[in-house]
Amino acid sequence: MRWFLLFILIAVVLFFILKRRNSPSPEGSDSYPYVLGAGLFSPAERSFLGVLDQAVGGDFRIFGKVRVADVVNVATGTPKSLWQRAFNRISAKHFDYVLCSPDSLKPVCVIELNDQSHAKDSRKGRDEFLEKVCEAAGMPLVFFPAKHGYTLSEVCERIAKVMGSKNAVVELVKS
């Protein structure tokens, strides 16, 4: 009888040891399977950011990879189910760059850098959706094709044209 009780006790202890070993602990590495990413921007996005900094850096603050839902809100008073659907559509998307007023940090223009993947139907649909969202919110949106080189005047002129105040941004090239 003693051997039987000893056997049961050992079996119970082994059971709990194995169970604990197989379940991740809250502080263990199994609970946080994260690693640092390669970088915030792709090489093309980083290159364009350098040009964008030169073109508008003194007059606007530039933020990258900004979630659409942090720039655009769903209108107050929208019925709850419609509000939730509309919010879900923008919460997982981001803008490549957001130009903000340097004092208030209020967004004044968003910029999308489109590489070859934007020729796909799914990406075209995403771009059209972002256009409609920005149009509804009254937020200027500029699409730039990804390419090997840009001129400062080209970048300034395209942004100014979309923002509707051509002289204000083109002046940046002269300074």
Q: Which domain holds residue 135?
A: 43-174
Is 5 inside any structural domain? no
- Other CB atoms within a 10 A radius of the CB of residue 160 amount to 23
Q: Which residue, 86, 85, 148, 96, is CA-closest to 118? A: 96
Whole-prediction pTM? 0.73
* Amino acid residing at 44: A
Is 28 inside any structural domain? no
Residue 55: give its domain's CATH number. Answer: 3.40.1350
The CA distance from 23 to 3, in Å, is 30
Residue 56: which residues within 8 A CB-CB, separation 6 or more?
62, 99, 155, 156, 159, 169, 172
Is 8 inside any structural domain? no
Number of domains comprising the chain: 1
Is 134 inside any structural domain? yes
For every one of its 175 residues, what pLDDT tens digit does the chain have, with 9 covering 90 and above? 677 766 777 877 777 777 766 655 555 556 888 899 988 998 889 999 999 999 987 889 999 999 999 999 999 999 999 999 999 999 999 999 999 999 999 999 999 998 766 566 667 888 999 999 999 999 999 999 988 888 899 999 999 888 885 444 433 433 3
Is 169 inside any structural domain? yes
Is 1 inside any structural domain? no
Is 38 inside any structural domain? no
Q: Do the beta carbons of residue 49 and residue 41 sit within 8 Å?
A: yes
What six digits make up the tokens of 31?
A: 């609970």
- pLDDT tens digits, one per residue of 143-169: 999 888 888 999 999 998 888 854 444
Is 152 inside any structural domain? yes
Phi, psi of 99 (to 5 degrees): -90, 130
3-state secondary structure at position 58: coil
